[in-house]
Structures are given as C-alpha cells and as structure tokens.
Structure 1
Amino acid sequence: MRRRLRAASARSAGAVTPTAASAPVLNGRLIGVTYHAIAAVRDRLLAASGLTFPQSVVLKAVADGSSTPPPSTA
C-alpha cells in the first residue's frame, strides 16, 4: 500500500518520468539550426559594438590573459 501512495503522490506533484518517446532528438539539423541562431545573435551584438568576429576572439584572448595568439582566421 505504501508504494502505491508514494507513486500516486509523485505523479500528483508533477514529477515527469522521461520516456524514449518524449526524449528530445539531437541530430545534425538541430545542431545546424542552433549554430545559425547563435551566430545571428553574436553577429548582431558584435555589429552594435563595432567589432568583427576575429577582433572579438583576440580581445577575449587578451582579456583572459592568454599568452598564445589564436590561429589565423584569414
């Protein structure tokens, strides 16, 4: 009887048990869409600051104290 009460209380508390049918699918399309969405936001923010992407990479490396320059993007 205790097991039934615990299971019922867990269901009523909004506990969700993931199943194979409800698990999100990670595939190449989703990765590509996500990459392009992040790149669009990044480019918009960089444009507002007047920096190019390579300049932002160098600035980040300098700010982090990196002694090794990033690879050339040209």
Structure 2
Amino acid sequence: TQCFGHTPYSYVYAGNFHHGLDIVDTADRTVRAIDDGVAYFYRGNSFGNNVRIFHSNGKMSLYLHLQ
C-alpha cells in the first residue's frame, strides 16, 4: 500500500504523485461509501474487483482490490 503524495512508486503516476490513500484490512468487513452517489461495479480489471462512485459534487471515489 502507499500513502498520499510522493512514494517509492510515484514514477508510475501522472505527475509522479500518488493522489489516493491506500487502506488495508485483513478482516472481512463491509466497505462504506464516503458520500452518496451513483455506484458502478467493475470485475477483475487491473484494479481487481472495484466500485467507482460518482458523487453529485463532480468527484469520484474508488474502492479497489475488493474481494
């Protein structure tokens, strides 16, 4: 996982900056969205199973590598 900002793997991101915050949990937990929006589920691409939520303020939140 990586923190927000410059990381040892920053070279793979546009502008050499990681714009997210990676959170890991080994327990089987429910993931809750940070805000209301329209959710789309994607299966098995380079992010693994993931959910993308488009919020009314124009922002998007990503939930990646889900089981």
Decide: shared fold, TM above 0.5: no
**Shorter-chain TM-score range:** under 0.3
Structure having the larger proportion of residues in helix: 1
Greater RCO (Cα-Cα under 8 Å, separation 6 or more): 2
Structure having the larger proportion of residues in strand: 2
What TM-score, normalized by structure 1, do the two folds share?
A: 0.21
What TM-score, normalized by structure 2, do the two folds share?
A: 0.22
